[in-house]
């Protein structure tokens, strides 16, 4: 905090911290609104976790959905969201997200580089009121790599490229297409400037308002004045072991698939100037298949197998949406029922590999998993139990009970298959995920908990303005994405919630800054 006049090195209207999808939406909106905008990214690539992602956005009643005749209503979407999220977060914040998603997308689609298509993806709480089996989810249209030109070199590649050296794809899909398209749109904006390797360090506060930031420029402190405000859209703190421990975030960095620069400085610096935070123990969760390097990766689309705890018993609906399943894993661990790694038990009917459609990072050769102790095999269930260290009689009883459910067509314990999402990966028309475990030899694959990034952060109002503990906004400071305490609280209502809300609150922040008077 500054007591004497600040010796600024540079000035702009809007300073955006981070370069994930939301940050770039906010920057685009600010620049198109006539504001000189600087984006500072800590790493040597733009895109953050958003570049790894599916690029999906959950935005009810948006134009892309309407183009294909979607008959959803905002009232229905609100009823669903409320039923799932409850009162854990401010209604004002929930409504801001719901009411502005379609408007934000209208803004994006005015740009020739930004095109979105519907990707039907069921809501994650299929039994909640007004859940939609077809979802409320859109994705960016694919993009030919050549269209990006030199920008390809500054776009963070997908996780398989970073983790196991997979070849770069020839067509940009999903999060790659989203960041690629936003970079193209920003390149056309004379008022927008994007900088790599420029980590944000501190907010500058004058008379109780954030008037700029200190970043590192070529290793030296550099003070940038932001006349309209600063948008913190720098992801979560999933890669910061000290913050994870301080705020009690379950799991480890080895199970995190968030981007490498996400150390939470934009959140911690906010706390230092009096900002309130919320949901700090929360993340977007998932089961994570363990790889030979000891890292667990976000995994979804289980077309068979059952998860068992330390007693050899099932503890959840294995086909539930990944965040719900992740929460069951954490709960079972807290209850003392589950130790990690825990195991997926499956048979040979679909082959030797675990029945997982999207392990995020592709599986490498089986021998490496066997050598790491992450794959087990036996001719009998009792033999497999000995391999994975669970009681043989209990595992045999669990498998027999499961096979009975499969024969009856109903999972009487966890209702696996009871929601549209449970059946989504089971082929055209959604078959049953009740797949018996009968054909030996029998297998087990090791799993742990994975997170896609933390979701606790700076508490905001419905305009994305960061709040103090007393509920008053800190003038000049806004937050979005995983730097912001998530509107969805302790839930993940549907695919595309993280990026959808990140984009909406960044756009709202930019809109507020466009409407605001400069801080002189
Ligand atoms: C495989 C995968 C698939 C997913 N699919 C989807 C999906 O389809 N839809 C969806 O909604 N969500 C999805 N998610 C989750 C989603 O990608 C993230 O929650 C979301 O992208 C986070 O956005 P963000 O802008 O908050 O952070 P990020 O996208 O991680 O961006 C943060 C950026 O800020 C930078 N930064 C951090 N600290 C500083 C600093 N001090 N100074 C400057 N820069 C800094 C980081 O380097 C990073 O580039 C997926 C995640 C994964 C891993």
Question: 70-79, 87-96, 425-434, 497-506: which range is least confident on average?
Answer: 425-434
Identify whether the C-beta of residue 159 lies closer than 8 Å to the C-beta of residue 53.
no
**Ligand 1 in reach of 414 Cβ (< 6 A):** no
Is 286 close to ligand 1, i.e. is its CB under 6 Å away?
A: no
Q: Taking the domains of the chain in order of start, what are their residue ranges?
A: 10-281+455-516, 285-451
Burial 453-487 (b: 16+ CB within 10 A, else e): bbbbbbbbbbbbbbbeeeeebbbbbbbbbbbbbbb
- Residue 5 pLDDT level (bands cut at 50, 70, 90): confident
From CA 155, how far away is CA 383, in angstroms rounded?
48
Distance (Å) from CA 341 to ligand 1 centroid: 26
- The Cβ of residue 129 has, within 10 Å, a number of other Cβ atoms equal to 11
Residues of the chain above pLDDT 70, percent: 99
For 216-263, how does the pLDDT look when each residue is reduced to its tens digit (9 = 90+)?
A: 999 999 999 999 999 999 999 999 999 999 999 999 999 999 999 999
Q: Where are the alpha helices (DSSP H) in 54-124?
A: 63-67, 74-85, 91-109
Distance CA 232, CA 200 (A): 10
Local confidence band at 169 (pLDDT 50, 70, 90 cut-offs): confident
- Residue 240 CB less than 6 A away from ligand 1: no
The atom number, within ligand 1, closest to the CA of 495 reads 9
- Residue whose CB lies within 8 A of the most ligand 1 atoms, among 48, 104, 260, 282, for a mutation test: 48
Q: Would you say domain 285-451 falls under CATH 3.40.1620.10?
A: no
Same fold, 10-281+455-516 and 285-451: no
Of the ranges 10-14, 117-121, 165-169, 236-240, which one carries the lowest mean pLDDT score? 165-169
What is the distance in A from the centroid of ligand 1 to the CA of 328?
A: 24
The answer, yes or no, to whether residue 1 has pLDDT greater than 80, is no
Q: Ligand 1: which of 43, 50, 455 to mutate, judged by most atoms within 8 Å of the beta carbon? A: 50
Alpha carbon 489 to chain centroid distance? 13
Protein residue closest via CA to atom 17 of ligand 1: 50
The DSSP code for 155 is: B
- HSE, side-chain direction, 13 A CA sphere, residue 464: 32
What is the token pair recorded at 167? 């070849």
Ligand 1 centre from 260 Cα, in Å? 10
Ligand 1 center from residue 337 Cα (angstroms)? 32
| pLDDT surpassing 60 at residue 103 | yes
Give the residue-averaged pLDDT of 300-317.
98
CA–CA distance, 89 with 174 (Å, rounded to integer): 29
- Ligand 1 proximity of 255 Cβ (cutoff 6 Å): no
Q: Check pLDDT > 70 for residue 170.
A: yes
Residue 519: its pLDDT value, please?
61
Is 320 in a helix, a strand, or coil?
A: coil
pLDDT tens for 438-487 read 999 999 999 999 999 999 999 999 999 999 999 999 999 999 999 999 99
**Superfamily name and number for 10-281+455-516:** FAD/NAD(P)-binding domain (3.50.50.60)
Compute the mean pLDDT over every residue in the chain, rounded to the nearest whole number.
Answer: 97
Question: Is 501's C-beta closer than 6 angstroms to any atom of ligand 1?
Answer: no
Q: What is the dihedral of CA 341, 417, 62, 158, to 10 degrees?
A: 30
């Amino acid at each position: 905090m500054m007591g004497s006049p600040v010796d600024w090195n540079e000035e702009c209207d809007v300073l955006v911290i981070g370069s994930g999808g939301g940050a770039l939406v906010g920057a685009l909106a600010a620049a198109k609104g006539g504001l000189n905008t600087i984006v500072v990214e800590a790493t040597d690539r733009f895109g953050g976790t958003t570049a790894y992602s599916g690029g999906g956005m959950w935005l009810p009643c948006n134009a892309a959905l309407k183009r294909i005749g979607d008959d959803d209503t905002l009232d229905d979407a609100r009823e669903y969201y409320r039923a799932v999220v409850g009162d854990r977060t401010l209604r004002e914040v929930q409504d801001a997200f719901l009411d502005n998603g379609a408007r934000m997308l209208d803004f994006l689609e005015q740009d020739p580089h930004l095109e979105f298509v519907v990707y039907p993806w069921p809501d994650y709480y299929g039994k909640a009121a007004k859940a939609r089996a077809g979802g409320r989810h859109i994705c960016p249209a694919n993009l030919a790599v050549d269209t990006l030109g030199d920008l390809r070199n500054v776009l963070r590649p997908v996780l398989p490229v970073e983790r196991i050296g997979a070849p770069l794809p020839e067509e940009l899909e999903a999060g790659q297409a989203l960041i690629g398209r936003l970079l193209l749109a920003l390149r056309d904006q004379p008022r927008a400037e994007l900088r790599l390797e420029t980590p944000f360090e501190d907010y500058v506060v004058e008379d109780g308002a954030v008037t700029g930031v200190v970043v590192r420029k070529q290793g030296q402190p550099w003070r940038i004045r932001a006349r309209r405000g600063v948008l913190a859209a720098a992801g979560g703190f999933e890669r910061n072991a000290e913050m994870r421990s301080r705020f009690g975030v379950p799991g480890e960095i080895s199970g995190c698939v968030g981007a490498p620069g996400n150390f939470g400085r934009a959140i911690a610096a906010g706390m230092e100037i009096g900002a309130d935070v919320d949901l700090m123990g929360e993340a977007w969760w998932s089961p994570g298949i363990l790889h030979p390097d000891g890292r667990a990766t976000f995994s979804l689309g289980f077309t068979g197998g059952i998860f068992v705890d330390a007693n050899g018993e099932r503890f959840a609906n294995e086909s539930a949406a990944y965040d719900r399943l992740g929460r069951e894993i954490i709960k079972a661990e807290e209850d003392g029922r589950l130790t990690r790694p825990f195991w997926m038990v499956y048979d040979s009917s679909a082959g030797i590999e675990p029945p997982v459609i999207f392990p995020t990072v592709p599986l490498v050769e089986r021998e490496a998993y066997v050598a790491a102790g992450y794959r087990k095999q036996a001719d009998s269930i009792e033999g497999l139990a000995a391999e994975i260290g669970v009681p043989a009689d209990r595992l045999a009883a669990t498998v027999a009970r499961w096979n009975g459910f499969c024969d009856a067509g109903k999972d009487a314990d966890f209702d696996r298959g009871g929601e549209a999402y449970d059946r989504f990966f089971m082929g055209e028309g959604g078959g049953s995920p009740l797949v018996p475990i009968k054909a030996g030899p029998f297998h087990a694959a090791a799993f742990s908990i994975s997170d896609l990034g933390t979701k606790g952060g700076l508490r905001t109002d419905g305009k994305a303005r960061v709040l103090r503990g007393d509920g008053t906004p800190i003038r000049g400071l806004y937050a979005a994405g995983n730097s912001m305490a998530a509107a969805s609280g302790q839930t993940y209502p549907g695919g595309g919630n993280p990026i959808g809300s990140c984009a909406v609150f960044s756009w709202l922040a930019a809109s507020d800054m466009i409407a605001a008077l400069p801080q002189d």
